[in-house]
Amino acid sequence: MKVLIIDDERGILKMYTEYFKATGIESFQAIDGQTGIKIAREQKPDVILLDIIMPRYNGLDVLKDIKSDQDLKNIPVFLLTNLPEESSGDKAKELGASGYLVKAQYEPKMIVDVIRGAIKENSI
C-alpha cells in the first residue's frame, strides 16, 4: 500500500511516516499542495491524506484539483485536519473526499484501519 500525506506541519509528517515505516506501508510526504499533486502524479498512491489549513494553497482547493484531474480523480482522498467537521465536512464531501478525520481523535493506527477499509472497499 502506498500513502501520500500532504501537511504543512513537519511534526505530523514525521509522526505518520514513522508509523507507516514501522508497519511496512510505503509513504510519501509533501509539505504543500503543489508538491503533493506533483508526487501524486509521479507515484500514483493508493490513498492520499490531506490537511486543510495550509498556506497559499489550502486542502479543499487541492482536493478540488485532484478530483478534476483525470489521472488522479480515482485516488481516495481523506481530509486529515484539526478543523471540526461542521466547518468543512460538507464542502469536503461535496468535492469528493472519501472521509473527514479529525487528527486529534485519530491515532496513526486508527487512520491505517480507516484507509485499509477504504482501499478494500475501492477494490471491491
Partner 1 sequence: MKEKEPSFLVNAKEKLNRYERIIEISTWLVVIAIIFGIQLIPSRNVDDSKAYLLIGVIIAFALLYYLVIYKYFSRSKRLYIKDIADIILIGSLILILKDWGQYFYALFFLPIAAAALSLEFINALLIAVVACLFVVFEIFLNSQGLYPQSGALYQGAWQIILILLITIFCRALAMQLRQEKNAKEEAIAYQKVLEEEAKRQKEFLSLTSHQLFTPLSMIRGFSSLLHYRTLGKLTPKQQEAVGEIYISTKRMTDLVSELLSISRIQSGKIEIKKEEVKIEELIDEVVKQFQKSIPKKNVELVFQKPEKLRPVQLDKEKIRQVLYVLLDNAIKYTSKGSITITCRQNFDIVNVSIKDEGAGIEKEDFDKLFQPFFRGKNILELDNKGTGLGLYIARLIVEKHGGKIWVESLGTNKGTTFTFSLPMVQ
Site residues (vs partner 1, CB under 8 A): 9, 11-12, 15-16, 18-19, 22-23, 53, 81-84, 86-87, 102-105, 107-109
Q: What is the DSSP letter of 71?
A: T
* Interstrand relation of 26-30 and 99-102 (parallel, antiparallel or unpaired): unpaired
Is 52 or 95 the residue whose CB approaches partner 1 more closely? 52
CA-to-CA separations, 96 to 6, 12, 21, 56, 75, in angstroms, rounded: 17, 24, 28, 21, 10
Minimum Å distance from CB 55 to partner 1? 14
Is 5 or 40 the residue whose CB approaches partner 1 more closely? 5
